[in-house]
A = this chain, B = another copy of it.
Amino acid sequence: KSEEMAKLTQLIDNEVFRAYATYATIVLLKMMLMSLITAYFRITRKAFVNPEDTASFGKGESAKKYLRTDPDVERVRRGHLNDLENIVPFLGIGLLYALSGPELSTALLHFRIFTGARIAHTFAYLIPLPQPGRGLSWAVAYSVTISMAYKVLKMALYL
C-alpha cells in the first residue's frame, strides 16, 4: 500500500504536474469567488430569484418586489458562466497537456498566461473596462488552451 502511495506522490512531486495543480486550483478558486460576488450583489441590491430567499423580508407583496433581476447581479452571473465555459476546457486539456511531457518553462508560460488572462477578464467584466479589454483577455486565455490542445493531439493522437 505505501508503495502505491509513493507512486502517487511522485505525480504530485513532478514539477510540471505541481505547476498544473497550482494554477488549476487558483483559477478554480477565482471561479468560486464569483458565487460569493453574486450573493453579495443579490443581498445589497435586494434582487432575488427564488421566493424562499425573500421570506425574511416579509410575506406577500412586500417580499415579492425583491424577486427581480438587477444589472449588477446579471453581470456577475455572465462572468461566472463565461468562467465555466473557458475554465472547464483548461482543466481538461491542461491536465492532459501536463501529462504529455512538456518543458517545465513552456508549461509554466501556458499556465501563467491563462490564469493571468482569466483574472484580467474578471476585472474587465466587473468594473467594467471598455472593450476590447474583456475581449482581448478572453482571446488570450482561449488561445493558450488551443495551444495546449495542439500539443496534446500531437503527442497523444489515437483515433
Seen from chain A, the residues whose Cβ lies within 8 Å of a Cβ on chain B are: 1, 4-5, 7-19, 21-22, 24-26, 28-29, 31-32, 34-35, 49-50, 52-53, 55-56, 75, 78, 80-81, 84-89, 91-93, 95-96, 99-101, 128-131, 134, 142, 145-146, 149, 152-153, 155-159
Q: Is the CB of A159 within 8 A of B22?
A: yes
Min CB distance A11 to B, Å, is 5
User: Can you offer 17 A-B residue contacts whose CB atoms are under 8 A?
Assistant: A12-B156, A19-B159, A21-B99, A21-B100, A21-B158, A25-B156, A28-B92, A29-B89, A31-B85, A31-B89, A32-B89, A32-B142, A49-B78, A55-B131, A56-B131, A81-B81, A84-B84
- With A84-B84, A99-B12 known as contacts, the answer to whether A25 contacts B131 (CB < 8 A) is no
Q: Which listed residue (B16, B25, B53, B99) contacts A11, Cβ 8 A? A: B99
Min CB distance A48 to B, Å, is 10
Q: What is the bound-complex CA distance between A75 and B53, given in angstroms?
A: 13
Q: Is the CB of A22 within 8 A of B153?
A: yes
A155 — which chain B residues lie within 8 A by C-beta?
Answer: 12
